[in-house]
Amino acid sequence: MVHYISKQRTYELRIDLLFSPLDAKIYLQWNSFRIGPESGNYVLEELGDYSGSFEKAYDYLDFHNGQPFTTQDRDNDISGNNCAVRHAGAWWHRNCYASSLNGIYNGGWDTGICLRDRSQAKHECDIKTTQMKLRPLL
């Protein structure tokens, strides 16, 4: 469904995150977003320029751009193991992630809902809720 919607016109993507325990809200936003068809494993085909309320030191989705979607039963990442199994959630895993928004709440850096900074030295894994939203650009 997301492929069908995103191929019709240009959409922007906004991801809202709620961090615990302080219930701090942030958003991540890209000015274009497109997903490929099922026959190509829903590749993250287009991801535009980033803006948002969280520092750009984090890769978010940029690291995953061009990657097919990996699930526990469809290993499409470039890692030697299935990243969706290892990190307990389907995603556009590469090797394995810089963001993983379908992990386990409070699962820690390996299986949790996390963002990783570019140096991979810092992880933000206290994410309580995530929402991904598409809006057509006018």
pTM beyond 0.75? yes
Look up the domain containing 85 and give its range. 2-136
Residue type, 17: L
User: What is the model's pLDDT at position 57?
Assistant: 46
pLDDT in tens, 40-91: 999 999 988 888 887 664 556 777 889 999 999 999 999 888 988 888 888 8
Q: What is the C-alpha radius of gyration for the chain, rounded to an integer number of angstroms? A: 14
Predicted local confidence at residue 107, as pLDDT:
58
Read off the CATH number of the domain in which 99 is found. 3.90.215.10
- Please tell me the distance from the alpha carbon of residue 77 to that of residue 84, in angstroms, as a whole number: 9
What local confidence, expressed as pLDDT, does residue 50 receive? Answer: 86
CA distances to 36, 52, 65 from 83, in Å: 20, 27, 16
Domains identified in the chain, total number? 1
**How many Å apart are CA 126 and CA 91, to the nearest integer?**
18
pLDDT tens for 86-103 read 888 888 888 876 677 777
| Of residues 106 and 80, more confidently modeled | 80
Torsion over CA: 1, 68, 102, 7 (sign): negative
The predicted pLDDT at position 87 comes to 80
